[in-house]
Structure 1
Amino acid sequence: MRLNNILPNKDAKHYKKRLGRGIGSGSGKTAGRGHKGQKSRSGGFNKICFEGGQMPLYRRLPKRGFKSIKCFYKTEIRLSDLQNLNISEIDIFTLKNANIISKFTRVVRVILSGNLSKKIIIKGLKVTKGAKIAIEKIGGSIM
């Protein structure tokens, strides 16, 4: 046996149909493309979203703004919200248990809004400059 003697099994190989090779081939003359028109000619095609010249759907609909996916996981809380809590040590888990923030929240920022009159300790939360000064003025701390 030699390499030039090896053949594929019978009916294992399908040869490409030869188009436009005379009437006897069965695919002569128009070569299976029908008569006339854009799709019968070489290079004739439409874009996928082409609607026959009508204004396409993606141009008819109004444009909308951008909303970041990240904003779903961020939350801001006020000092007045912390005032209402009966806990002195505050972290993200205590805020979730108290239903002040969503269970999906990953980043919490404390902002200066409202009054704070009790000493609190904040762990693992972001704090604005004004809120930090207000917390430390009362004797609280940020870790």
Structure 2
Amino acid sequence: MQLHNTSQYAVRILSYITNQKNETLLSAKDLSEKLSIPYKFLTKIMGELVRTGLIKSIRGREGGYELNKAASEITISDILDIFNDSLNEERCILGIGYCDCSNKCVLHDQWIEPKNLIQKMFKETTLDNLTNEEGKI
């Protein structure tokens, strides 16, 4: 199981913005360079994050991006939902289209519990929980 590139980048961008407490506004150019995300792809993601209200964009010479909500109010699930990247109930873990209780793949029954735990983690983890984590962004 792996998140789509767009979702991966969005989580990384928002985590980075959250961790930059001394800088209030970050430009797309700076974010692109610091996070090694292609500039055009980053600006598309930022546009969607602005449109959905997770971040705000301030125009002008000293402009940039900042969170529009408290980091404690933004869950990983909120981010994934924007990009339609939640764990779909029927998407097969083996990539064989869709499977459910009546049309199972060989891993279907074993996947249910870990999938539920991952969904719970996405719903309970906020950007605030990721602040100052030692891991890579």
TM-score by length of 1: 0.23
Larger-gyration structure (1/2): 1
- Which structure has the highest strand share of the two? 1
TM-score by length of 2: 0.23
Higher relative contact order (CA 8 A, sep 6+): 2
- Which structure has the highest helix share of the two? 2
